[in-house]
Structure 1
Amino acid sequence: MNIEIQYLNLCREILDENQTEIAEGRWTPNRTGTGTVGVFGRMLKHDMAEGFPALTTKKLFFNSVKAELLWFLAGRTDLEFLHERGCHIWDKDAARNGGVLGPIYGKQWRAWEGANGRTYDQIAWVIDQIRQIAADPERPNPNARRLIVNPWNVADLEAMALPPCHGPFQFHVKDGKLHLALWQRSADLFLGVPFNIASYALLLHMVAQVTGLQPGTFTHYLNDVHIYRNLVDQVRLQIAREPYPLPQLWLNPEVREIDQFTMDDIQLVNYRHHPAIRGEMST
């Protein structure tokens, strides 16, 4: 089933299962002060052969998806990198934390500090392992089921403006294809999840290209899946729309290393979408 249909069905499920709570104003409290309704433990799955999963029932701001992912991959945690690329999605989180974000995703992906005093580049390691498997798929690799990148560094959580909502994630190589599964502890279904889907689908394509594989499937495990009180009407508008065919992704074929990608090397092709639906992010 098309991932957008799966996503819209999940939106409907949450609204249907929580009709009484919404009508009576019984919202689940959380750290933001804006109540939610939701479910726990769901899964979305997409085959990249069906197109790139940029949802079409509202406009996805793909430039911000690209900028944030390149920011993570650069190991950066400063706002300057994002602002130079016109992305301001982390500004409110930084403002709540004295203007800084702390050791969030990029730091953990590229420079995890171990208790032994060593620093670990998880992205470089996982790409090296994938390349070894791709080069000799018949040879057993002890790390074949350990292709995991984890941003949840317990020692650094208190210094983060926001503990990771998404990750760890795991790659898998089979029959010349690269697959990716993501675990997400907290999922803002209207604002965050479409962005997360596109971001990790993009990461899958990029890693597949630099390792000589084809992108396979993306599996998204969502734990606390919720809709914020101030976004219920926006969700109702979105689920009333008919999806368009999914677009395609173009990556510059000359890029062969993960750190060489730029904004111009990543483009959506034939992205037909409904108008944007604005909503305030709860922080």
Structure 2
Amino acid sequence: MASVPSSTDSRNRTHPEYQYLDLMREIWTHGSERRDRTGVGTRSVFGAMLRFDLTGGKMPLLTTKRVYWKTATREMLWFLTGDTNIRELCRQNVQIWTDWPLDTYRCETGEDISREEFSARIVAEDDFAARWGELGPVYGKQWVDWPTYQYQPDGSYRKGPGINQVAEVIESLRNNPGSRRHIIEGWNVAQLDQMALPPCHKTYQFHVADGRLNCALYQRSCDVALGLPFNLWSAALLQRMIAQQTDLEPGEFVWMGGDTHLYLNHGELVEEQLSREPDGHPTLVLTRRPDTIFDYTIEDFEVPDYAPQGALKAPIAV
């Protein structure tokens, strides 16, 4: 294993991004090497925590590499629609989810189609999108239309109305802020095998104190190099939107990881990123307040002071 830069430096280590870099360094240096579902292999630790102050517009947006926050924002807005087909994402050139259905297509048809061609066909062809673009009941479906079943006198079950967890949490925060049940859950055990990928960022809990909205996210599995930068932004974004909708100020965002790992083929990215120093404090401006949380558009968000260092790329493990 190549050496990684030391955590000792002359800069002010109070910058919140050092939490992320120190976690990356700890995993790469001391993590347990494990085989995983993808076959790539990881170094992993179990149980990690990062804490970020969101007051004054601050956001956990990394500066040691470019994070495409608009792409992550488009994904979050897509989640809130409850959609389960990648077609709308592909229309916006958001390819976060394309690799999973593409892998299925290649395996089932034997056709070595490029991602660009596959995405273009999803957008252009209705039947192709319906057959190959479906992900199953992933995140957004569970968030805004959790399925229910009603027991019948004859012992059978009848499908009931879906539960919009996001709307219910917002209503609960408005009317009963001291509740300990402000939770959005994605881990629907009965439907895991129908999902292209079971939810990684699975449980969000909200907490109100002194007029501020705090959020804790538990993530069962976390790709620290590629996934976590998006996850931090997206969860804090959801917190900011809910705070605005409930007339609360954003408070603290707490991220907790279960299996927190780096893929073995991400070494070059890890070593380059650990050689960099955080610089700058990105903020998010919400330019308007829509009627509901389901009415935001990408034009409602601005990051006026984001000047990251260069992008870092590595292969995604499917």
TM-score when scaled to structure 2?
0.81
Distance in 2 of aligned mates of 1:250 and 1:84: 25
- From 51, 76, 79, the equivalent of 1:72 is 79
2:170 aligns to what? 127
In 1, the alpha carbon distance for the partners of 2:175 and 2:92 equals 34
Identity of aligned residues (%): 41
State the 1:97 CA deviation: 4.1
- Give the Cα–Cα distance (whole angstroms) in 2 for the partners of residues 92 and 3 of structure 1: 32
The one of 162, 180, 186 equivalent to 2:197 is 162
Measured in 2, the distance between the counterparts of 1:2 and 1:48 equals: 13
Kept in 2: contact 1:252–1:265 (CA 8 A): yes
CA-CA distance at 1:81 after TM superposition: 1.5
Runs of 4+ aligned residues of structure 1 deviating over 3 Å after TM superposition are none
Structure 1 segment 231-270 matched on structure 2, within 5 A: 231-270=266-305
Larger radius of gyration: 2
Between the two proteins, the alignment pairs up a number of residues equal to 268
Structure 1 unmatched runs, 5+: 22-26, 135-140
Report if the CA contact (8 A) 1:251-1:266 is conserved.
yes
Q: Distance in 2 between matches of 1:255 and 1:84?
A: 23
CA distance in 1, matches of 2:209, 2:96: 35
The separation in 1 between residues aligned to 2:298 and 2:80, in whole angstroms, is 13
2:16 counterpart of 1:3: yes
184-193 or 90-99: bigger deviation: 90-99
SS where residue 114 of structure 1 aligns? strand
Q: Which residue of 2 aligns with 1:84?
A: 91
Unaligned runs of 5+ in 2: 1-13, 106-131, 151-158
Structure 1 position 45, deviation (Å): 0.5
2:244–2:289 contact (8 Å) kept in structure 1? no
- In the aligned structure 1, how far is the partner of 2:263 from the partner of 2:167? 37
Aligned-CA RMSD value: 1.4
User: Is this contact kept in 2: 1:177–1:214, CA < 8 A?
Assistant: yes
Query: Is the counterpart of residue 47 in structure 1 residue 58 in structure 2?
Result: no
Query: Does the 8 A contact of 1:38 with 1:226 survive in 2?
Result: yes
Match 2:40 to one of 13, 30, 34: 34
Question: Which residue of the partner structure matches residue 56 of structure 1?
Answer: 63
Residue 232 of structure 1 and its aligned partner are, at CA, apart by 1.4
CA contact (8 A) 1:110 1:120 kept: yes
TM-score normalised by structure 1 residue count: 0.91
Match of 2:144 among 110, 116, 125: 110
| CA shift digits 1:239-279 (9 cap, x unpaired) | 11010122110112332410110011112120010000011
